[in-house]
Structure formats: C-alpha cells, structure tokens
Structure 1
C-alpha cells in the first residue's frame, strides 16, 4: 500500500468537525486512553514519537479558497500566501485517509519554515525530507490506519509536528479568525490577573 502526501486543499480543513463536536467525540471514544495505551506504544515501536504527535481533528472556523492557516510563534491566522511565499511555509498538521490501495496524508495547517529567510533544506518538514520520512515509515502508517479502523476512530486524530521534549501542552483561544495558543501557566496568569482586577 502506497503512502503519499497530498496537495493542500482548503476544503479538507473546512470538512473537519467544529471543536464543539470533536471534543465530545474524543471523550466518547476514550481518546486519552487510546493515546496512552495504544498510540504511544505504536509510535515508539516505529520510532516516530520524536517526529509526529497526534492532533485532534477540528476547526474553529472555515477558510476561504486559497487561504491557509499559518502559525506564527503560537498565534495562527488565515492568510493567502503569494506564490513566492509558499516555500517559507511548511505543513505542521496533517489529516490522514486510507482508501482501497493508498494512505494519503493531507496538509491542514502550516508554520513558518525553520529558516529565517531561505528554505531550510535540513528541516524534517521540508517537502522532500517529509516525503522521504513517510516513505521510510510506511509500515507505521499502515499499522496506524488498521488500528484506527479497528477502533472505529476514523477522523478523530491526525498528525502534528512533534513539539519537543518538555512540551507543557497548550490552551487554544480563538478570537474571530485568529487562534492564540497559550501554555497552561500563561492561562493561570491570565486568570490570576482577572481575579485580581
């Protein structure tokens, strides 16, 4: 079975369930238990745990044609990049679908490339390196999609870039069409400020 990286399509992002639906779906299938007891061992078995993480598939708003959701240091906004700008953005969140003879990863959200002004070809997220990664980890993606089907959790999870060791988690706050991602500590400080004032 082939594993391929699809081209970006804003319709894939728009077809994700709203968070108000995705959150309860995660709870209904005991998502935390699946992550801890099934997915974590699978990721470790195939040595992908320092490259990919799981992402709850959801959106908070729809994108217009040609828009991409782009993360700038923890704040995500929809933009319409020019053709000359596309190389400085790399996918950071992917959905996954399995059809008869193909597993397809499709980009949903983007982040600035790790290079300041030029494409960082050493980044694991550059297209050629990520293509090579998914080809080399074909067995992982096959086993993952088989497990997802057996568990009946198609569409619940996708993949995100591994955020690094010591990642504290994040709380996503949406204001209009902008996501602001805060650490739990930052959220605590905000609530303390609100309580004081």
Structure 2
C-alpha cells in the first residue's frame, strides 16, 4: 500500500454517491462474484474482521482534511494541524483501490480506553492478492473496497443505516420510525458472517449499513 498521496486527494478521487449508487442499482453484483469473494474472506479467516464496502463519497474534503468517525458520526477533521496526541488515535477503518493501490479513506478516532482498537489493521498479503484478483475478474475494483468491523463484531442483530447531512455522515439503528425518512436503499457494507443460511441471493445479501442522503 502506498501512503504518499494526501488523504483528501485519495478521498476526492472516489466516485460520488450520485454515480456509485445508480451504478450498483443498474448493474447488480452477480451472485457468482459474491460467492467467490465470500469464499476468499472465509478461506483467510477475515470474514469476522472485514466487510465488503461500496466505494463512494457524499462530499469533498478540503486540503489537509480526513474523514473521521467517532461514536457513529463521521465528519472532516483538519488533521494537518491536529494535536499529535489526537492524531495518533486515528485508525484506518475503510479502504478503496485508487490506481491499483489500496488506500485508507475513512478513519476512526479511538479513545484511550479502547486499547484493543488502537492498532492499525494488518492485512494478510495473500488475502489482498486473491481479493483484488477477484475484483479484477468481475470488474469490481472501482466498485468495492474493504471495511473494518469494531471489536464487538459485525453481527449484533441491529441493522444500521447511514445518512448524510451537509458534511457529516451519521449512522443510526434502523427502526420503524426512521425507515421512511430518506432514500437509504443502497447497500454500503456487506458482512459475510451474517448470512445465516450461507446464501447471497435476494434478501440474503447481508447489509451492515444502508446509505443515503437525508431528506430535505
């Protein structure tokens, strides 16, 4: 992985939601591709640590900014002038392929009490090689990246949805009271261990987050 491109430059190269969402609707991922990718995740025992993330952004970052999530709210932080003590607690959580290289484009702020999540995720190189090979085979390298799960695991039984208001991404539990609040239809992150019947057809596609714009 290369690290010499500024985070804001990497982020701004990602497709906007207005491009990636219609694309995934018009060209659904073949079941064959999901099965192949799931097999790779399970083979390398990363299916309880990583998920398949739809590569997209809702807004642009300014020079020196990074998108940082804390307590289910992700906002741009001007990290170029951030205190080094705080900056050291920013850990990559979402990655995308840009020009053939895997880059982190979203980060988590990890409090001092959460020592287990402080270390950056160490990818297995064999997994990355097979994962990218599968993405290239099915023409999905510009569509999908990777997302890291919290230590609590990916399947806590509570579906989540993410909405964007201005330059903030907010993740909240799905409930009857908010399901109709906006177009939260695109699957943003898929979790393979949450397919209890080991099927990826129809509703069997596992979703960690639904993603969309807030209604105005």
Larger proportion of helix: 1
Distance in 2 (alpha carbons) for counterparts of 1:35 and 1:183: 29
Aligned-residue Cα RMSD (Å) equals 2.5
Distance in 1 (alpha carbons) for counterparts of 2:37 and 2:178: 33
Counterpart of 1:113 (choices 102, 110, 114) is 110
Distance in 2 (alpha carbons) for counterparts of 1:167 and 1:65: 38
C-alpha deviation, 1:54, in angstroms: 1.0
5 Å-filtered alignment, 1:177-196, equals: 177-185=167-175, 188-190=176-178
Superposed CA deviations along residues 73-95 of structure 1, whole A, max 9, x for unmatched, are 11111111314121111111111
- Check if 1:155 corresponds to 2:116: no
- What are structure 2's unaligned runs of at least 5 residues? 182-216
- What are structure 1's unaligned runs of at least 5 residues? none
Q: Which has the higher contact order (CA 8 A, sep 6+)?
A: 1
TM (norm. structure 2) is 0.71
Superposed CA deviations along residues 33-52 of structure 1, whole A, max 9, x for unmatched, are 36642222210011111111
Relative to structure 1, is the Cα distance of residues 26 and 34 closer, same or farther in structure 2, using a 3 angstrom cutoff?
farther
Relative to structure 1, is the Cα distance of residues 46 and 28 closer, same or farther in structure 2, using a 3 angstrom cutoff?
farther
Relative to structure 1, is the Cα distance of residues 109 and 151 closer, same or farther in structure 2, using a 3 angstrom cutoff?
same
Relative to structure 1, is the Cα distance of residues 51 and 15 closer, same or farther in structure 2, using a 3 angstrom cutoff?
same
5 Å-filtered alignment, 1:31-42, equals: 31=29, 33=31, 36-42=34-40
C-alpha deviation, 1:62, in angstroms: 0.0
Distance in 2 (alpha carbons) for counterparts of 1:55 and 1:156: 8
TM (norm. structure 1) is 0.77
- Check if 1:176 corresponds to 2:166: yes
Q: How many residues align?
A: 174
Distance in 2 (alpha carbons) for counterparts of 1:75 and 1:35: 31
Distance in 2 (alpha carbons) for counterparts of 1:113 and 1:68: 15
5 Å-filtered alignment, 1:115-134, equals: 115-116=112-113, 120=115, 122-123=116-117, 126-127=119-120, 130=121, 133-134=122-123
